Homo-oligomer: A and B are copies of this chain.
Amino acid sequence: MQQLVECVPNFSEGRRQEVIDAIVAAIAAVPGAQVLDVQSDADHNRTVVTFVGEPEAALEGAFQGARRAAELIDLDQHRGEHPRMGATDVIPFIPVRGVSMDDCVALARRLGQRIGDELAIPVYLYAKAASRPERESLPAIRKGQYEGIRDLIGNDPAHEPDFGPRRMGPAGATAVGARPFLIAFNVYLNTADVEIAKKIAKTMRFTSGGLRYVQAMGLLVEGQAQVSMNLTDFRQTALHTVVEMVRREAARYGALITRSELVGMLPQQALLDAACWYLQLDGFTADQVLENRLVGPP
């Protein structure tokens, strides 16, 4: 199976379509980089690009996108609702298939070095690639935004970048990191009582004693109680574990799951893991999936 990394760079431009198109084109021009999604928000004045490729293609695509963004976006002219510190604000690498988190951390470091050296943009490593515990959180790194960091970067030790110069040009600074794939997953109950969904969410979520890689809240959606969750590391806290725990909690309140939904995409492995758990397929390997045996272009 081909190795696959997802990369989701965020650019500080959500209004000028020609700029967005030029950045996306720079990424898509890299052989092996496949752009899957482009989401622009005019109020945030920000664009999120999702692309995938083998590790080297992901690295090169991210670099080319960042280079083009530095040419076309001037942070001194940028206003938007979303916090930002750079033309390319943040670049996470996400393991999808056949690559480890360590591989993605290594990619982040190599990309950070290149952006620092070749584009003279200060780079902060974040999330799993962070070089200091206080830089694991992106909001903590971005505190003060472009204008605030620009004034501190030259002297404040806390603002010393991991790569690149200790000064900011109009392209600002970029956070580069690695993180697990995030799955947005909702479960609907056969009740209109949102309090049941809220109680279940409280039991499920990490911050109130629940599962380590689960964020959860209870909502009422079109008259139906919904437990809305983010699974922040499905390899550690699996989809089936989450569903069966919601099911048990719901039963406590006399409720049942009517259906669930995945918002957006997810790696094949997340569903294979669920199928194997329920079917009790000990010894199954992903290369038993016929499609995973295919190599090369059709």
Contact = CB atoms under 8 A, between A and B. Distances in A.
Contact of A268 (B187, B280, B290): B290
Nearest to A33: B298
B262 A281 contact: yes
A33 to B, nearest CB: 10
Interface in A92-131: 96-97
A206 B23 CA distance: 58
Contact of A289 (B54, B260, B265, B274): B265
A34 interface: yes
Interface string A265-298: 1111001101110111111100011111111111
A282 B298 CA distance: 26
A152 to B, nearest CB: 39
Contact of A271 (B4, B32, B271): B271
Given A52-B294, A265-B290, A266-B289, 8 more contacts: A243-B278, A259-B281, A262-B288, A271-B275, A274-B279, A278-B278, A294-B297, A296-B298
B53 A298 contact: yes
A77 interface: no
Contact of A290 (B96, B272, B284): B96
Contacts of A292: 268, 298
Copies of this chain present in the complex amount to 2
B265 A298 contact: no
B4 A291 contact: yes
A214 B253 CA distance: 39
A293 B260 contact: no
Interface residues of A, number: 50
Contacts of A293: 34, 36, 52, 265
B288 A265 contact: yes
Contacts of A6: 290
A240 interface: yes
A280 B260 contact: yes
A134 B258 CA distance: 46
Contact of A96 (B96, B262, B284, B291): B291
Contacts of A81: none
A194 interface: no
Contacts of A260: 279-282
Contact of A297 (B2, B262, B289): B2
A239 B264 CA distance: 26
